[in-house]
Amino acid sequence: MREWIYVLDHCSAVDFVLGSGTPGEVYNIGSGVERTNLEITDALLRLLGRDESSVEHVQDRKGHDFRYAIDCTKLRSLGWAPAFTFEQALAATVDWYRTHEAWWRPLKARS
């Protein structure tokens, strides 16, 4: 399991903490949205119009953590909440990469 947050929501949380938080305090930024890697893969395949033949399954790493999540209750108690659903955020991210190929294509070519 992983907790996922859209970059614009993360940035808005940082801005919110700067204006509404207490200096010196720690605020965990999270969405509360948890998905498995397979759920993310399925969502990406749907958005890209691809089937599972595009997926290569690999074994888990030894010592692999099974869950990454944080407690963002403190930040939420100040009144902040994400503006985007997971589905909206993933679709916007995929659209960004589709419209900014000139940015990522050279990076991919180098690897």
Residue 83 is given by DSSP the state: S
pLDDT more than 90, % of the chain: 78
Q: Based on the structure, what is the number of domains in the chain?
A: 1
Task: Name 86's Cβ contacts closer than 8 Å, sequence gap at least 6.
Answer: 4, 6, 31, 33, 35
Q: What pTM was estimated for this model as a whole?
A: 0.85
Question: Which CATH number covers residue 76?
Answer: 3.40.50.720
**Range of the structural domain that residue 41 is part of:** 2-110
Taking only the tens place, the pLDDT of each residue in 15-44 is 999 999 999 999 999 999 999 889 999 999
